[in-house]
């Protein structure tokens, strides 16, 4: 319970003790980058909720406005997805330009990914993928999904000062990547328009040529500045930034657009790359990934075959079970609901999650609850489709007419349904289906099949 002494909550101060790991990570300032997500601490040392407005200003990424949503609706003819309507995707870079490009050329490239840190994805990972699927369906565009097994191996070794740890051998990450690919397929992506790869199995050819070129553009100082690395960071992790960045270029995969073939003898042929370099890319991801793509955007026009600055649409984090000062993360099993969890496990986890309800039934009825810090309410805002139902729940909870128990019950049943449906689809993803998505091939989508973007 978050309420102390019957006082109503404020969105800033979250007084319940979050996970030990989060407490240790938290600094006076909030810290958000691809490797750390933590709210700031208040004077008493408690972790505060993440301040997304402050973060957006620090990263200097524009807000997603009503105008963007209107334009999106005009271009697609569909109401924006709930994650966009509720500004859970809340910020962007050049989203307008992607809509312009779509109107002009009829397509763009979608790129997103996952660092396979565990055998099963969690609900937080489902957020960018759910949204990406919506974009793929609405725009009928090609999609590339990168599984960074190499990065997770390098990162884990780096964290453990180079020492091997159980479950973190190189081969373990390869295994997690393939399991995660099955999870991703189960979100429902259209096979004809989707290419999924793991770094260890795919890198080479045009992709690797782009990597080398990008590596030649970056200095260690730039990487350190953006990602907080220092001289003791292993060489692999420093070099990894170029791989993460050029994965966004259509020119890393001309074959997906019908240019060139994949025979090793053709890999030095550069024309295919030139033909597709001008295809614009949109990356849906949570805002912790933004530092990678800042490096990318700074260098798009410095490539031999320049690409437009990559566009981003950025989400907030599905909060940790312990409260809004941290994100749901696979590295802290207590923070997460995994896509492999049973209905019973989901029920237990939500019942123990951080609540914005009153300390006692009487307090709750008198002062109301605070949905702004309540985990069950936060999860409903991501997964409950009906805007009307969500706003009734919010109102009832603030007034105290809806109890914490009732709110949690609703959250449990929504999540059990979401995860149950996912698991049903997952049971049908055979090794053959996996191979189909992971075969490097020409993708089939509406719009310009062999693009000639100037």
The Cα–Cα gap between 143 and 136 comes to 7
278-317: which residues touch ligand ATP (CB under 6 A)? 285-286, 288-289, 315, 317
CB-wise, 318 or 390, nearer to ligand ATP?
318
The Cα–Cα gap between 205 and 198 comes to 15
Cα 291 to its chain centre, rounded Å, is: 13
The Cα–Cα gap between 199 and 338 comes to 24
CB-wise, 160 or 331, nearer to ligand ATP?
331
β-bridge partners, 147 = 114, 198
Instruction: Compose the 103-122 pattern: x for residues touching ligand ATP by CB under 6 A, - for all others.
Output: -----------xx-x-----
CB-wise, 120 or 220, nearer to ligand ATP?
120
The burial class, CB within 10 Å (0-12 / 13-18 / 19+), for 216 is: exposed
The Cα–Cα gap between 243 and 302 comes to 16
CB-wise, 210 or 335, nearer to ligand ATP?
335
Backbone φ, ψ for residue 311 (5° rounding): -90, 150
Query: Is residue 324 part of the contact set for ligand ATP (CB under 6 A)?
Result: no
Member of 101, 237, 328, 339 binding ligand ATP (CB under 6 A): 328
β-bridge partners, 114 = 147
CB-wise, 198 or 329, nearer to ligand ATP?
329
Q: Report the nearest approach of ligand ATP to the CB of residue 329 (Å).
A: 4
Query: Is residue 329 part of the contact set for ligand ATP (CB under 6 A)?
Result: yes
CB-wise, 128 or 451, nearer to ligand ATP?
128
Q: Report the nearest approach of ligand ATP to the CB of residue 58 (Å).
A: 17
Query: Is residue 331 part of the contact set for ligand ATP (CB under 6 A)?
Result: yes
Residue with tokens 């609706």: 73
Query: Among the candidate windows 196-204, 265-273, 325-333, 383-391, which touches ligand ATP by CB under 6 A?
Result: 325-333
Query: Is residue 127 part of the contact set for ligand ATP (CB under 6 A)?
Result: yes
The Cα–Cα gap between 121 and 125 comes to 6
Q: Report the nearest approach of ligand ATP to the CB of residue 285 (Å).
A: 3
Residue with tokens 């810090």: 373
Q: Name the CA radius of gyration of the chain, rounded.
A: 22
Q: Report the nearest approach of ligand ATP to the CB of residue 83 (Å).
A: 10
Read out DSSP for 138-192? HHT--EEEEE-HHHHHHHHHHHTTT---TT-SHHHHHHHHHHHHHHHHTTT--GG
Member of 55, 196, 296, 330 binding ligand ATP (CB under 6 A): 330
Instruction: Compose the 198-227 pattern: x for residues touching ligand ATP by CB under 6 A, - for all others.
Output: ------------------------------
Query: Among the candidate windows 198-206, 322-330, 397-405, 421-429, which touches ligand ATP by CB under 6 A?
Result: 322-330
Query: Is residue 369 part of the contact set for ligand ATP (CB under 6 A)?
Result: no
Q: By the 8 A CB rule, do 436 and 191 touch?
A: yes
CA angle 315, 22, 181 (to 5 degrees): 50
Q: By the 8 A CB rule, do 14 and 49 touch?
A: yes
Query: Among the candidate windows 186-194, 301-309, 324-332, 361-369, which touches ligand ATP by CB under 6 A?
Result: 324-332
> Is residue 55 within a helix (H) or strand (E), and if so which, with residue range?
helix 52-59
Closest CA to 192 of 140, 259, 126, 129: 140
Binding positions for ligand ATP, rule: CB under 6 A: 114-115, 117, 124-125, 127-128, 285-286, 288-289, 315, 317-318, 327-331
């Amino acid at each position: 319970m978050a309420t102390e002494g019957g006082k109503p909550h404020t969105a800033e101060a979250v007084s319940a003790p979050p996970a030990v790991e989060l407490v240790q990570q938290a600094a006076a300032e909030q810290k958000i980058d691809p490797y750390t997500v933590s709210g700031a601490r208040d004077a008493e040392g408690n972790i505060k909720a993440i301040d997304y407005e402050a973060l957006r200003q620090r990263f200097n990424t524009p807000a997603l406005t009503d105008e963007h949503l209107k334009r999106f609706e005009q271009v697609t003819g569909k109401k924006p997805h709930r994650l966009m309507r509720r500004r859970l995707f809340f910020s962007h870079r050049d989203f307008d330009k992607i809509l312009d490009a779509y109107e002009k050329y009829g397509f763009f490239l979608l790129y997103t990914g996952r660092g396979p840190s565990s055998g099963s994805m969690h609900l937080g990972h489902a957020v960018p993928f759910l949204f990406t699927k919506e974009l793929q369906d609405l725009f009928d565009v090609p999609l590339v999904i990168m599984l960074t097994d190499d990065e997770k191996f390098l990162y884990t070794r780096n964290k453990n000062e180079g020492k091997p740890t159980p479950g973190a051998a190189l081969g373990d990450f390869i295994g997690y990547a393939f399991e995660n690919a099955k999870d991703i397929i189960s979100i429902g992506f259209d096979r004809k328009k989707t290419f999924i790869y793991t770094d260890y199995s795919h890198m080479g050819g045009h992709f690797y040529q782009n990597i080398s070129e990008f590596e030649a553009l970056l200095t260690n100082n730039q990487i350190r500045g953006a990602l907080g690395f220092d001289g003791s960071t292993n060489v692999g992790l420093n070099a990894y930034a170029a791989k993460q960045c050029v994965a966004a270029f259509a020119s890393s995969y001309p074959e997906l657009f019908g240019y060139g073939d994949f025979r090793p003898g053709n890999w030095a042929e550069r024309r295919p790359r030139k033909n597709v370099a001008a295809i614009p890319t949109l990356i849906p991801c949570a805002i912790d990934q933004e530092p990678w793509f800042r490096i990318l955007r700074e260098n798009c026009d410095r490539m031999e075959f320049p690409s437009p600055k990559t566009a981003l649409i950025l989400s907030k984090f599905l909060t940790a079970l312990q409260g809004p000062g941290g994100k749901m993360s696979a590295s802290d099993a207590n923070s997460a609901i995994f896509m492999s969890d049973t209905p019973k496990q989901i029920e237990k986890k939500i019942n123990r999650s951080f609540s914005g309800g009153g300390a006692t039934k009487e307090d709750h009825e008198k002062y109301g609850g605070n949905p702004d810090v309540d985990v069950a309410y936060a999860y409903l805002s991501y997964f409950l489709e009906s805007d009307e139902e969500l706003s009734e729940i919010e109102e009832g909870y603030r007034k105290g007419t809806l109890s914490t128990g009732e709110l949690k019950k609703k959250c449990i049943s929504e999540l059990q349904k979401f995860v149950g449906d996912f698991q049903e689809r997952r049971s049908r993803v055979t090794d053959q289906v996996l191979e189909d998505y992971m075969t490097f091939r020409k993708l089939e989508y509406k719009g310009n099949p062999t693009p000639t973007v100037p």
